[in-house]
Amino acid sequence: MKEKLQEYALIAEIISAVCIVMSLIFVGMQINQSAEETALNTKSIQAEAYQDLLTQIGAPNIVLLENPELIDIEDRVQTNSSDLTQNDINRYLPYLRTMWRHGSLAYYQYKNGIIDEHTLRSALAPTLAILRNKVPRELWERNKGLFESDYLEYIGTNLE
């Protein structure tokens, strides 16, 4: 009888060990599945952020296309024309602020790991191109205090 109980105890230990191994395998599979879901969610967030940036890139272009006066001002800015009036500058400044805010948002997304540096450079290209002209650069210098220092440093470094 004692031998029979020992056999049952041994069988119970073996079953218990198998159950523990199976539980560990199940937990490992759950962790793996969770990691895959997290990676997919991250990619989804990155794609959504990039789509948002593309939409924002289009917004200033639509403003230009819908406003012939603003196109004229932009043309004169691009050629560093000196015939801009204060009224022209007042009309142009909201457009510039939109570009700067777009760049600021792109930098924020980059800083938080949502987009990579290549995407950031692509998103900032129009802003940097505009800032290489005299009038926008002067207006930037007067208004850049509205933005965080990391963004200002990044812009400054990439304008050189």
Q: Is residue 109 part of a domain?
A: yes
The tally of domains found in the chain comes to: 1
pTM of the predicted model, to two decimals?
0.66
Q: Which domain holds residue 128?
A: 43-159
Nearest to 159 by CA among 134, 145, 147: 134
Q: Is residue 14 part of a domain?
A: no
Structure tokens at 56: 């924002």
Q: Is residue 35 part of a domain?
A: no
Q: Is residue 58 part of a domain?
A: yes
User: How far apart (Å, rounded) are the C-alpha atoms in residues 139 and 141?
Assistant: 5
Distance of CA 135 to the CA centre of its chain: 28
Q: Is residue 11 part of a domain?
A: no
pLDDT tens digits, one per residue of 19-60: 888 888 888 888 888 888 877 777 777 667 667 766 766 777
Q: Is residue 131 part of a domain?
A: yes
Q: Is residue 22 part of a domain?
A: no
Residues 6+ apart with CB under 8 A from 56: 102, 105
pLDDT tens digits, one per residue of 71-111: 888 888 888 777 888 999 999 999 899 889 889 989 998 99
Q: What share of the chain is helix, strand, coil (3-state, %, to 5)?
A: 90, 0, 10
Q: Is residue 155 part of a domain?
A: yes
